[in-house]
């Protein structure tokens, strides 16, 4: 087993800090947490500076089960999964000069919204993937103080009798292609990549071709790469714990086609992953040269906490991308800082990685070497209330 770099941190409230100042990009992190017990989930604002990682603001304005955040200027769009409810919620939150978050407007979504993306001319549209409700929503966000619902699609159940979570359609992410003309939704329940043409002017979505995965694959999240004249798509598959790569063809009939060019486990080989493993996030580095994904519940590595205690850790796994062919080669398997890294993100210049450890209630910020793509030592660590499920550097 591999042990992460040990770090010595000072303790301030529930936040363990280092004295490492941020490098490039924003010093702010926005974090969402699921609730524990009767507590409400929160949207937290953490600051990484010379004093370390500190909590500077929090809000419950998104709702009790906040998850995905999308920033557009001084607005955060947040979805409330509303566990057990018959619908979810979308909220626009204005970022104040004091970093407080004030709710401006809201909207109702199909149940269990888990991802959003801005699209359309002038960034006027917002698309939502609704996991629990088996559908998608779009909204006009031209005026963040008056969000307007546009389109709702609820997909049919798979034709065969499948056990949960594949007993219904379960779109897990909304992803915009490099041209801005298409939205794709990996559907974990139906084993489909659902594709829609997006009218940049009217914001209307028109369903197009689907790509069908093998039964039981469970496509979860995806990332497009524009490389010269070529376009590639990488999909991380939760149920089969696979990483698949595709070349993308833009057809004359205004549709997309996907040709598989890569298929391996999330570790880049054919060896079986530990029982209970569940692939999670996939993200391209800012320079588009590397791809990193997170894998949950492996407990295959170790991480050393501030107090010197060694704990089990799931991995962040990095691959180098061949710009000409789209092929992937394994670079590193590094500790994520604990268990269940549901989400992680890079800062603007790729010198930092923030990892949200849902099961451990922890946020860890790591150094990252831009040239090699490798994740290095932890520079800050914070215990946060609830279950952190999303952590993104502010724009």
**Residue 19's pLDDT band (boundaries 50, 70, 90)?**
very low
Asked if 70 and 126 touch (Cβ cutoff 8 Å), the reply is: yes
Question: Rounded distance, CA 281 to CA 349, Å?
Answer: 19
- C-alpha dihedral (99, 102, 107, 108), degrees to nearest 10: 80
Q: Does the pLDDT value for residue 38 go beyond 60?
A: yes
CATH class in words for 10-393: mainly beta
297-301: average pLDDT: 97
Q: Where do the domains of the chain lie? A: 10-393
Q: Does the pLDDT value for residue 9 go beyond 60?
A: no
The full length of the chain comes to: 395
77-90: average pLDDT: 96
What pLDDT shows up at residue 22? 47
Burial of 347 (0-12, 13-18, 19+ CB in 10 A): buried
Asked if 255 and 265 touch (Cβ cutoff 8 Å), the reply is: no
In percent, how much of the chain has pLDDT > 90?
A: 90
Between β-strands 230-237 and 362-368, what pairing exists: parallel, antiparallel or unpaired?
Answer: unpaired
Distances 320 to 266, 288, 375, 381 between C-alpha atoms, Å? 14, 9, 13, 27
- How close are the terminal C-alpha atoms of the chain, in Å? 36
**Residue 228's pLDDT band (boundaries 50, 70, 90)?**
very high
Question: Rounded distance, CA 107 to CA 79, Å?
Answer: 9
255-280: average pLDDT: 97
Between β-strands 52-59 and 125-130, what pairing exists: parallel, antiparallel or unpaired?
Answer: unpaired
Q: Does the pLDDT value for residue 1 go beyond 60?
A: no
What pLDDT shows up at residue 49? 83
Q: Is the peptide bond preceding residue 291 cis, with omega within 30 degrees of 0?
A: no
Nearest to 245 by CA among 174, 307, 176, 329: 329
DSSP code, position 21: P
Question: Rounded distance, CA 224 to CA 184, Å?
Answer: 10
Q: Does the pLDDT value for residue 37 go beyond 90?
A: no
What pLDDT shows up at residue 25? 55
Cα 372 to the center of its chain, rounded Å: 23
Quote the pTM value: 0.94
What pLDDT shows up at residue 10? 30
Q: Which residue has the higher pLDDT, 2 or 131?
A: 131
Mean pLDDT of the chain: 93
What pLDDT shows up at residue 15? 43
269-290: average pLDDT: 97
**Angle of CA points 163, 166, 172, to nearest 5°:** 150
41-52: average pLDDT: 90
Q: Which residue has the higher pLDDT, 158 or 185?
A: 185
Q: Does the pLDDT value for residue 2 go beyond 80?
A: no
What pLDDT shows up at residue 40? 87
């Amino acid at each position: 087993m591999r042990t992460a770099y040990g770090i010595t941190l000072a303790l301030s409230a529930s936040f363990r800090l280092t004295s490492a100042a941020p490098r490039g990009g924003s010093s702010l992190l926005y974090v969402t947490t699921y609730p524990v017990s009767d507590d409400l989930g929160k949207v937290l604002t953490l600051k990484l500076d010379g004093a370390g990682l500190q909590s500077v603001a929090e809000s419950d304005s998104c709702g009790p089960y906040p998850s995905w955040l999308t920033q557009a200027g001084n607005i955060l769009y947040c979805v409330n999964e509303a566990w057990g409810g018959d619908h979810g919620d979308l909220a626009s939150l204005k970022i104040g000069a004091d970093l407080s978050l004030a709710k401006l407007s809201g909207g109702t979504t199909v149940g269990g919204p888990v991802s959003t993306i801005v699209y359309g001319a002038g960034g006027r549209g917002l698309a939502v993937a609704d996991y629990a409700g088996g559908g998608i929503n779009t909204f006009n966000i031209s005026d963040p103080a008056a969000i307007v619902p546009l389109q709702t699609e609820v997909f049919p159940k798979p034709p065969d009798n499948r056990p949960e979570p594949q007993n219904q359609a379960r779109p897990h992410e909304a992803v915009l292609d490099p041209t801005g003309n298409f939205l794709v939704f990996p559907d974990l329940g139906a084993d489909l990549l659902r594709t829609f043409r997006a009218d940049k002017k009217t914001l209307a979505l028109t369903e197009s071709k689907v790509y069908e995965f093998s039964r039981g694959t469970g496509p979860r999240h995806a990332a497009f790469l524009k490389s010269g004249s070529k376009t590639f798509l990488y999909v991380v598959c939760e149920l089969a714990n696979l990483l698949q790569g595709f070349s993308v063809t833009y057809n004359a009939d205004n549709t997309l086609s996907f040709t598989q060019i890569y298929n391996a486990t999330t570790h880049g080989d054919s060896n079986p992953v530990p029982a209970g493993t569940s692939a999670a996030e996939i993200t391209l580095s800012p320079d588009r040269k590397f791809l990193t994904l997170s894998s949950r519940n492996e407990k295959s590595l170790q991480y050393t906490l501030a107090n010197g205690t060694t704990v089990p850790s799931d991995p962040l796994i990095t691959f180098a991308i061949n710009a000409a062919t789209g092929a992937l080669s394994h670079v590193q398997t590094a500790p994520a800082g604990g268990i269940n890294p549901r989400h992680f993100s890079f800062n603007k210049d790729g010198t930092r990685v923030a990892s949200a450890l849902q099961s451990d209630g922890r946020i860890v910020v790591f150094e990252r070497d831009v040239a090699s793509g490798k994740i290095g030592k932890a520079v800050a660590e914070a215990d946060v209330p609830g279950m952190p499920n999303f952590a993104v550097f502010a724009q």
